[in-house]
Amino acid sequence: MSDESVEYINTGLICANQRVIPDGVCSIKLRSDKNKCVTLSKKSLDAKSFIFSSFTKESHQMFIIQYFEKENYYTIKSLYSQLYLGVHSTKEKSLVTQDSMSENFFAKWEVTLDNGFYFQLKETNYYLEYNTQNNILHIAKKNNSNEQAFTLSPVEIIKSGLYYIRSISSNLYITLSKKNKSSYSYLTSKNQSEDQIFYVVYDKFD
């Protein structure tokens, strides 16, 4: 992982119904305090809230942001838990938590850019907001405060380089057979041959 991250452009003004964030993995920070980022309250699938803490480059502080062009919304998924950031109620000050996508969990966000990123819960008047008193995230009506303005920093999950790729479930490694000139791969025990070594490249543009 890179020791430095280049922030997405977070100045200027971009109107609604326009894509403003590329898909990818990033950390989410307050515009007013870039030393702290959104973090799962604990490293657990059962974590019920998000807090702000110093960035330590751990997976529970990273999020996969994906854009759905047809309906013009984004989803924000925890890299650690693979669960989505959202709310179970669309009432003022509802706690932002994590869960799977469902009809009873609201996790679709519209994003605007105006000297910071603003996340509006789709089809509501509520925005993602940091509650400084309780150190949690909730939703609230737009008030142009620093607590509703965020910056995003893309994160390089894996440095470009040579890697073995191992299955977690079977402890076997992906292998290609050059001798048979096969286009298929298979799993086998580690043998340190070139057939098991892959060059992984981080693409910061995608």
Q: Measuring CA to CA, which residue among 5, 107, 117, 23 is closest to residue 64?
A: 23
pLDDT in tens, 35-53: 889 999 988 788 889 999 9
pLDDT in tens, 120-129: 999 999 999 9
Q: Contact 4/52 with Cβ under 8 angstroms? A: no
Q: What is the pTM of this model?
A: 0.72
pLDDT in tens, 88-121: 999 999 999 999 999 999 999 999 998 899 999 9
Q: Contact 126/137 with Cβ under 8 angstroms? A: no
Altogether, the residues listed in the chain come to a count of: 206
pLDDT-based confidence at 189, cuts 50/70/90? confident
The answer to whether residue 173 scores a pLDDT higher than 90 is: no
Strand 109-114 vs strand 117-121: parallel, antiparallel, or unpaired?
antiparallel
Residue 38: count of CB within 10 angstroms of its CB = 25
pLDDT-based confidence at 77, cuts 50/70/90? very high
pLDDT in tens, 3-14: 333 455 444 444
Q: Residue 199: what pLDDT?
A: 75
Cα–Cα distance measured from residue 15 to residue 22, given in angstroms and rounded to the nearest whole number? 16
Residue 158 or residue 72, greater confidence: 72
